[in-house]
């Protein structure tokens, strides 16, 4: 049913989504925590920046990333000066794009989850002798566990589903940057509707299953909405 090229695209998609989700959780958790606790006015600016990928056409984001990461862009030149390759049209470039593009899908559920815990449990933990780091791991993480699941699944699913950013900065290099959504586009362009059907239906089922799992879990945990 799948040919080798499609299978490769499938695994690249999974790898991209998995790597991006891990990086998103690592970066998004402290960012969301800061946003949920801070009272500075800078907060609204940061919130707006984080939310930007929700409204911006992916091609706009992809275009700027291409400029910045490409051979003539600042990051590209920096990479070359270190003896490396520019990130445009590489898997690493895709990861950078995905992380930025999916950031709100990870940060927002985490921020909501952290905010809904409120100050009280943390104050209780402090008066019971828990240090700030201890409080985060012994109170915040377990109380916001549903938000972590939501954030991870949304970040993963959204990365699987992205198209515009990937097309702009990754192109469609089989084995390197060709992900499922691009492969589908290529099949349609080549009028291979049958193969496009298989991949499209596969993505549809995968996305639906992931979301179903999130909503079912939230219904059970009743801590936050995605």
Partner 1 sequence: MTIRARYQIHLDDFTLNARFSVPDRGVTAVFGPSGSGKTSLLRAIAGLERGPIEYLEIGQEIWQDDHRFLSPHKRPLGFVFQEASLFPHLSVEGNLRYGQKRARNRSPILTFGGVVDLLGTASLLGRNTRDLSGGERQRVAIARALLASPRLLLLDEPLTGLDLESRSEILPYLDRLHEELEIPVFYVSHQPDEVARLADHLLLMNNGEVLAAGPIEEMLTRIDLPLAHGLEAEAIVAARVDRHDDDFGLTYLNSRAGRFTVARINLAPGRPVRLRILARDVSLTIDRQSDTSILNIFPVRVDELIAESAAQMLVRLDAEGVVLLARITRKSASLLNIDVGSRLFAQVKSVAVLS
* Site of interaction with partner 1 (CB under 8 A): 120-121, 123-132, 134-135, 138-139, 142-143, 145
- Shortest Å distance, C-beta 167 to partner 1: 43
Contact 125, 200 (CB under 8 A): no
- Shortest Å distance, C-beta 144 to partner 1: 10
- Shortest Å distance, C-beta 29 to partner 1: 17
The nearer residue to partner 1, 43 or 145, going by C-beta atoms, is: 145
- Shortest Å distance, C-beta 223 to partner 1: 9
Cα-Cα-Cα-Cα torsion 17, 21, 22, 26, nearest 10 degrees, comes to 150
- CA angle, residues 129, 142, 49, in degrees to nearest 5: 105
Q: How far is the first Cα of the chain from the last one, in angstroms, to the nearest whole number? A: 35
Long-range contacts of 126-133 (CB under 8 A, 24+ apart): none
The nearer residue to partner 1, 22 or 141, going by C-beta atoms, is: 141
The nearer residue to partner 1, 115 or 138, going by C-beta atoms, is: 138
The nearer residue to partner 1, 135 or 158, going by C-beta atoms, is: 135
The number of beta carbons lying within 10 Å of the beta carbon of residue 62 is: 23
């Amino acid at each position: 049913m799948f040919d080798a090229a499609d299978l490769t695209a499938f695994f690249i998609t999974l790898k991209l989504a998995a790597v991006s989700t891990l990086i998103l959780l690592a970066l998004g958790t402290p960012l969301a925590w800061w946003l949920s606790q801070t009272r500075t006015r800078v907060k609204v600016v940061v919130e707006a920046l984080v939310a930007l990928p929700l409204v911006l056409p992916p091609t706009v984001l992809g275009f700027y990333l291409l400029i910045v990461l490409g051979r003539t862009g600042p990051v590209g030149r920096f990479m070359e000066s270190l003896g490396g390759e520019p990130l445009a049209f590489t898997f690493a470039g895709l990861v950078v794009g995905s992380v930025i593009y999916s950031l709100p899908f990870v940060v927002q559920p985490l921020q909501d989850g952290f905010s809904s815990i409120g100050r009280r449990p943390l104050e209780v933990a402090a008066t019971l002798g828990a240090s700030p780091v201890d409080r985060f791991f012994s109170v915040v993480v377990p109380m916001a566990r549903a938000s972590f699941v939501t954030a991870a699944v949304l970040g993963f699913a959204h990365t699987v589903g992205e198209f515009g950013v990937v097309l702009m900065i990754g192109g469609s290099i089989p084995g390197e940057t060709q992900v499922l959504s691009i492969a589908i586009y290529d099949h349609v362009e080549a009028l291979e509707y049958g193969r496009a059907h298989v991949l499209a239906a596969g993505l549809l089922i995968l996305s639906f299953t992931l979301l179903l799992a999130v909503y079912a879990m939230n219904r059970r945990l009743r801590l936050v909405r995605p």
